[in-house]
């Protein structure tokens, strides 16, 4: 009899803890801050049903402009009611050389609806960390620019709570992006 009570207590405690972690992981809201051209910015300040995010930098000549161009083309194929539910966030990793205005100007040239974000190293590291991503500034004195930033070539798809629903690695066509938008919207 004395053995059953502690066992019951243990079972109830473990069940409660499991339920807590299950609910917490399902309903946890991810928020992260950055700087926009309009001032301080947080993800939860205006989330959409679907939030696309790309981590890049404005002096990237190859992948970043190509990806933003593909997203622009995908957005052109969306219906107005679909566009109302989504947004695209370009997070500028070049914290040494860029600022929020540069990031915004860059993103806006592809589509005025795109949001360009910058921030402090701590903020940008936190955003990348929330995506489970890393990035590195690669110094190469033999190149004209002397640096490049290695970064994931991925579009992240986040829900309203800032949780990653999906990601697309190495996007190569607007139709693939469009398909994933519609799958996750």
Which residues would be at the binding site for other proteins (CB under 8 A)?
A: 58-59, 61-63, 65-66, 68-69, 102, 105-106, 109-110, 133-136, 138, 140, 142-145, 148, 150-153, 170, 172
DSSP bridge partners of 55: 91
50 versus 124: smaller Cβ distance to other proteins = 124
Please identify, using beta-carbon distances, which residue of 172 and 183 lies nearer to other proteins: 172
Nearer to other proteins, 25 or 142 (CB): 142
The least distance separating other proteins from the CB of residue 10, rounded to whole angstroms, comes to 41
State in angstroms the smallest separation of the CB of 89 from other proteins. Answer: 18
* The length of the chain, given as a count of residues: 185
Cα–Cα separations (whole angstroms), residue 105 to 36, 87, 90, 120, 176: 11, 16, 11, 18, 26
Q: Alpha-carbon distance 72 to 132, whole Å?
A: 25
Sign of the alpha-carbon torsion through 46, 50, 55, 56: negative
CB of 121 to other proteins, least distance (A): 18
Three-state DSSP at 75 gives: helix
Q: Distance between CA atoms of 174 and 30, rounded to whole angstroms?
A: 28
Q: How far is the CB of 97 from other proteins (least distance, A)?
A: 11
Q: CA 67, CA 81: separation in Å to the nearest integer? A: 23
Closer residue to other proteins (CB): 5 or 62: 62
Measured from the CB atom, the residue of 32 and 110 that comes closer to other proteins is: 110
CB of 58 to other proteins, least distance (A): 6
* Positive/negative CA dihedral, 67, 69, 70, 74: positive
């Amino acid at each position: 009899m004395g053995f059953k009570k502690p066992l019951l207590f243990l079972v109830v405690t473990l069940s409660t803890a499991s339920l807590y972690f299950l609910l917490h992981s399902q309903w946890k809201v991810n928020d992260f801050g950055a700087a926009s051209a309009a001032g301080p910015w947080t993800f939860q300040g205006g989330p959409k049903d679907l939030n696309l995010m790309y981590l890049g930098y404005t002096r990237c000549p190859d992948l970043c402009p190509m990806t933003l161009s593909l997203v622009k083309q995908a957005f052109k194929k969306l219906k107005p009611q679909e566009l109302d539910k989504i947004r695209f966030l370009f997070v500028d990793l070049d914290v040494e050389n860029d600022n929020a205005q540069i990031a915004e100007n860059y993103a806006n040239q592809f589509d005025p609806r795109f949001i360009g974000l910058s921030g402090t190293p701590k903020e940008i590291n936190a955003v990348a960390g929330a995506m489970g991503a890393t990035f590195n500034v690669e110094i190469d004195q033999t190149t004209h620019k002397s640096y490049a930033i290695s970064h994931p070539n991925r579009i992240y798809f986040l829900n309203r709570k800032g949780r990653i629903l999906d990601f697309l690695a190495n996007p190569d066509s607007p139709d693939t992006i469009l398909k994933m938008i519609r799958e996750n919207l």
